[in-house]
Every structure is written in structure tokens, then in C-alpha cells.
């Protein structure tokens, strides 16, 4: 320390301190809090700390200025120009925000107790940087909210703002979770399908048939990179029923759970009986009623114990149908017709003479009709950019607009069940069976986020081969439909989530139903249309 009360670096970069700041007296007489303050003050005299402060100020200024451009001039990119690099750059920005937060806490500790924290210019500097950085992050997402309910209560909007302000802290949790499940189960287990089987990891089923309806089917499910398997599926050749009409009906369904697997497994257990013993005679009306019955039963507190028992693995003591739900796409197949009901973003696709025919519509918050209902019910829809992808989320959370469960979004007593922010009412479509109908695919969004409907049809069609000997190959076991589905899921699986911006990392479940009635087939593909696929991500 110099005579003038200034501590200097070797290059004469000075930082003013009072002599009393560092002259602490005998170590035995100094409180531990003062020792910590002393070490922090010494750290601030080091050149790396000065460089760190300069970098932080540059980062905060860049973030703030880019956000101002975004807000004032309607820029398409703004803050997102900085984050274009993906997960690792986002993690760096998160680290800066957390470092600034820690620095602010240290300044508060050093200056405690004082009448005003702003007596220390270091604390003022750090607080300014932290506010600029976090505000720039949150305001940028705020700018990208496609629709905001103008009459929304201020408290609701600030909750959404807070969610995005805390977004940096979620990056580290996501990275840790990805590392936990990086070693996924690749093996597939053949099982005898009992209509209600379920499992963890990868699951595939051997071919099943219903001669009365002229169909055979296979299915497969893959946990992927996720920590839990939340999907469920149904494949029943003949519905359990006392009515001959329903006994002659086959049921196929894929349920994609979120917030937990319990609601999807609940639907898997109870949907067949709700449909099979329905007093409604029409397939479409019966499925609409069954979907609503699932929500009604989930509202009953007595089902909580059953939901707890439906975990894929250990018993789960925390189950709340207000915060968990599932999408559902169901197909009822009869000899002359197919009826498809869908709520959510799972999808059913029909292959008709090699062309993909979408049998359902994905229910996303940005769909015009869905958006109008959400706003009218008091919800808001926000945009979230992930690489080149844009996700639309209701109140910053769910990226779908229809589901079974999610009762938190269905509590407006002034509205009917069909008018809530999120509804379980399915869209229903009828398809008379034609001679050109070849097969049908039901799958969750983990598949459709990677493959288009036509790409999935081409993938399956190329592996079915000639129809002339298809029935023979299936009967002799030379062709397993579940193996084709399994191969499709393997093709969708991402080798590196950071490279594919998260695509190909979701749970994936698909059911393949082949129409084997020879009288309905014109001809099948003689040779393969496409080579076996590797990674089919649209970014490649």
C-alpha cells in the first residue's frame, strides 16, 4: 500500500481504498465476516477481476442494445442473433447472469449494514449489469409473444414475464438431465400383446391380426433421451363389449403424456371399456363421450390412488391431474369404415395408393380456431425460438391446445367443457375404406417432429415389399410389422440433441395397421422406394 492510501497494480492501475479497509488488526480479534470481506476486497484488486468486469459490461450493453433495436424498430432477430449458436451459447449467457447475481450478493454482504447499498459504486455497477442482462433476455421473449390477451390481469402477465426472466437458470438443469439419459436402452423386447401391456425403455410387439376386419398390426415404443417414458398405446383386435357392433370393431390409439405418464396410462386402462360399453351407437359420438368421461373421472379425487399406481417404475407419491395430461389419437376400425378421433398433437396418417392422407389435425396453440378459443377463455400464447424452430406455448407452458387431463386449464366455471383454455373434445373424422387403402400409422409428436406424413408413409411402404406374398411372409414370420415400426423410431432418434436442436429426443410411440384384405388391394410396391434411412432430421 502506498503512502497516499492507494493500492496499485504493477502497471499503476489504481483502485482507491481507505487504509482501514485492509488493516484488520490481530487475526484473533477479527470476526469471520470481516475476514471474508477482506478476501473479497483483495480479489477486486487483481487484474483478471477488472477484465471480468469489462466483459460483463460489454455483454450487458450488447444484450440491452440489441433488445432496444428489437423493441423500437421491429427487428426480426434482436437478442436472438446472439443466441443463434444454440445450447452452449445459451449456457454461457446463463453463466454470466448467475455470476452477476453472485457478485451482487457479495456486494450486499460487504456493505451490510448500510443505509443505502448504492454508496458502493461496485454494487451499483453490478446491479445495473444484472438488471440489463436479465431484462434484455425477458423483454426479447416478451416481444416475441404472438398474441397477448389485452384485457388480461396484470398479475397474470407478470407471472409469464417472470417465467422468461428465470429462463437462463433452466439451461443447466436441461443439460444435466440429458446427460443422465444419454445411455438409453436400445434393445427391444418381443412380448405377447394383452391389450394393456406397458413398459420402460424400448418396447415392441409381434404382429397381431383381426381376420374379420382384414387387418394386421405391429407397434413399438422408445423412451429416447427422456428420463421417463410417458407414452402409452392401445391395439385391440376386438373391443370388449356385450354389443356385437362393438365386438366387430378394432381399436388403436397412441397417448402422449406430459407432466407424468399416469394420465396416459389411465386412458389406456379405461378407454376401451368406455367405448365398448357405450350406449351411443355412432363411433364418433362414442369417442367424443369417452374422451370427456376421462376428464370427468380425473376430476374425482378418488382416482388419485389409482393414478399413483400407474407409474412406469417406482411408486409415485406426487400425482396431480391438474398439472399432467396426455394427447390421444384413436382409430376405430370396422370392415367398411375407419373413424379417427384426435385431441392434441399426435397424428394418424393413412397410406392410400402410396400417398399420405392425414386422418387428423394437430391441435397447436397457433391454429386459428384454437387460438380464438384460448384468447376468449382468458389465455395467452407465447412464442419460443429454438434454433430455426418456433414453439407456441399457452401461458408460456404447454405447446398443445387439446388434451385429456391438464385440469388447471379447465377450471373456468363460467365456460363449458368445450370453451376452456385447453379442451379434451376430439376432432372426429370418418373414412370409408377403399380398395387403395394400404396401411395406417398412428404416432405421437416425437415421430412427427422429425418425419413428415409422406416421409413416414414412404419409409413403411418401402419395407413392406410386394403385396403378392405379404400375407405369406407375415404368417411365416419372415416379416414383422413391429420391426418396421422399430426401425422407423430408430431412424427418428437423434444422435446428438445439441446438433439437432432437441429434435429426435422425445418419447416415441407408433402403431402400424396394415389392411391385408386381398380384395381391397390394387397392387403394392414391387421395389423399394427409398434406401434404409439413417438420421432423417430436417436440419441435415
- Mean of pLDDT values over 438-443: 96
3-class DSSP state of 31: coil
Distance (Å, whole) CA 429 – CA 317:
39
β pairing state of 437-443 and 427-432: unpaired
Query: Residue 497: is its pLDDT beyond 60?
Result: yes
For 56-96, the pLDDT digits (tens) are 666 666 666 665 665 555 444 444 444 444 444 555 656 66
* Contact yes or no for 518/474 (Cβ under 8 A): no
- Mean of pLDDT values over 159-173: 43
pTM above 0.85, yes or no: no
Q: In the prediction, which pLDDT does 376 show?
A: 92
Helix or strand (DSSP H, E) at 356: strand 355-358
Residues making up the chain, counted from first to last: 540
Nearest Cα residue to 332 out of 370, 290, 297: 290
Which position has the higher pLDDT, 236 or 540?
236
CATH number of the domain at 181-363+400-520, please? 3.60.40.10
How many Å is the Cα radius of gyration of the chain? Answer: 29
Domain-by-domain residue ranges, the chain?
6-177, 181-363+400-520
Query: Residue 423: is its pLDDT beyond 80?
Result: yes
Distance (Å, whole) CA 466 – CA 44:
76
Give Cα 91 to chain centroid, integer Å. 20
Nearest Cα residue to 410 out of 429, 428, 427, 394: 394
Nearest Cα residue to 455 out of 540, 389, 388, 520: 540
Beta-carbon contacts of residue 61 (< 8 Å; ≥ 6 apart) = 132
Q: In the prediction, which pLDDT does 339 show?
A: 96
Give Cα 77 to chain centroid, integer Å. 24
pLDDT cut 70: percent of the chain above it? 55
For 4-31, the pLDDT digits (tens) are 444 343 333 333 444 444 444 445 555 6
Amino acid at each position: 500500500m502506498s503512502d497516499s492510501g492507494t493500492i496499485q497494480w504493477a502497471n499503476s492501475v489504481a483502485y482507491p481504498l481507505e487504509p482501514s479497509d485492509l488493516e484488520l488488526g490481530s487475526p484473533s480479534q477479527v470476526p469471520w465476516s470481516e475476514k471474508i470481506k477482506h478476501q473479497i476486497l483483495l480479489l477486486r484488486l487483481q487484474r483478471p477481476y477488472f477484465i471480468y468486469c469489462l466483459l460483463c459490461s460489454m455483454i450487458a450493453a450488447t444484450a440491452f442494445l440489441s433488445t432496444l433495436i428489437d423493441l423500437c424498430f421491429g427487428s426480426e432477430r434482436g437478442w436472438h442473433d446472439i443466441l443463434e449458436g444454440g445450447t452452449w451459447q445459451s449456457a454461457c449467457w446463463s453463466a454470466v447472469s448467475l455470476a452477476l447475481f453472485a457478485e451482487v450478493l457479495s456486494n450486499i454482504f460487504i456493505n451490510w449494514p448500510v443505509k443505502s447499498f448504492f454508496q458502493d459504486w461496485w454494487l451499483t455497477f453490478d446491479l445495473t449489469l444484472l438488471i440489463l442482462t436479465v431484462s434484455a433476455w425477458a423483454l426479447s421473449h416478451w416481444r416475441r409473444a404472438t398474441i397477448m390477451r389485452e384485457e388480461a390481469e396484470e398479475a397474470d402477465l407478470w407471472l409469464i414475464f417472470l417465467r422468461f426472466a428465470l429462463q437462463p437458470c433452466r439451461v443447466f438443469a436441461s443439460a444435466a438431465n440429458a446427460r443422465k439419459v444419454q445411455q438409453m436402452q436400445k434393445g427391444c423386447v418381443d412380448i405377447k400383446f394383452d391389450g394393456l401391456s406397458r413398459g420402460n425403455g424400448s418396447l415392441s410387439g409381434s404382429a397381431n391380426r383381426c381376420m374379420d376386419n382384414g387387418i394386421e398390426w405391429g407397434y413399438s415404443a422408445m423412451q429416447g433421451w427422456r428420463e421417463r417414458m410417458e407414452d402409452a398405446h392401445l391395439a385391440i383386435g376386438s373391443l370388449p363389449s356385450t354389443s356385437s357392433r362393438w365386438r366387430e370393431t378394432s381399436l388403436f390409439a397412441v397417448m402422449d403424456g406430459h407432466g407424468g405418464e399416469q394420465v396416459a396410462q389411465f386412458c389406456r386402462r379405461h378407454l376401451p371399456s368406455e367405448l365398448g360399453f357405450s350406449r351411443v351407437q355412432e363411433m364418433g359420438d362414442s369417442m367424443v363421450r369417452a374422451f370427456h368421461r376421462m376428464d370427468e373421472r380425473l376430476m374425482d379425487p378418488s382416482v388419485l390412488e389409482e393414478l399413483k399406481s400407474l407409474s412406469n417404475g417406482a411408486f409415485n407419491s406426487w400425482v396431480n391431474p391438474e398439472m399432467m395430461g396426455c394427447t390421444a389419437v384413436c382409430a376405430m376400425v370396422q370392415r367398411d369404415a375407419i373413424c379417427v378421433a384426435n385431441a392434441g398433437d399426435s397424428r394418424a396418417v393413412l397410406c392410400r395408393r402410396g400417398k399420405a392422407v392425414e386422418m387428423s389435425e394437430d391441435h397447436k396453440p397457433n391454429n386459428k380456431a384454437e387460438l380464438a378459443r384460448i384468447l376468449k377463455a382468458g389465455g395467452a400464447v407465447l412464442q419460443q425460438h429454438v434454433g430455426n424452430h418456433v414453439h407456441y406455448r399457452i401461458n408460456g407452458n404447454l405447446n398443445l391446445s387439446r388434451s385429456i387431463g391438464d385440469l388447471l386449464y379447465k377450471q373456468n366455471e363460467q365456460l363449458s367443457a368445450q370453451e376452456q383454455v385447453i379442451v379434451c373434445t376430439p376432432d372426429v373424422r370418418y373414412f370409408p375404406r377403399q380398395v387403395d387403402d394400404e396401411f395406417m400409422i398412428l404416432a405421437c409428436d416425437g415421430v412427427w417432429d422429425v418425419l413428415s406424413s409422406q416421409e413416414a408413409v414412404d419409409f413403411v411402404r418401402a419395407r413392406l415389399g410386394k403385396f403378392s406374398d405379404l400375407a405369406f411372409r407375415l404368417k411365416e414370420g419372415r416379416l414383422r410389422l413391429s420391426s418396421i415400426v422399430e426401425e422407423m423410431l430408430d431412424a427418428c432418434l437423434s444422435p446428438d440433441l445439441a446438433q439437432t436442436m432437441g429434435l429426435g429426443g422425445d418419447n416415441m410411440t407408433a402403431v402400424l395397421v396394415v389392411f391385408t384384405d386381398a380384395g381391397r388391394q390394387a397392387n403394392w410396391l414391387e421395389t423399394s422406394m427409398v434406401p434404409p434411412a439413417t438420421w432423417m432430421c430436417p436440419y441435415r
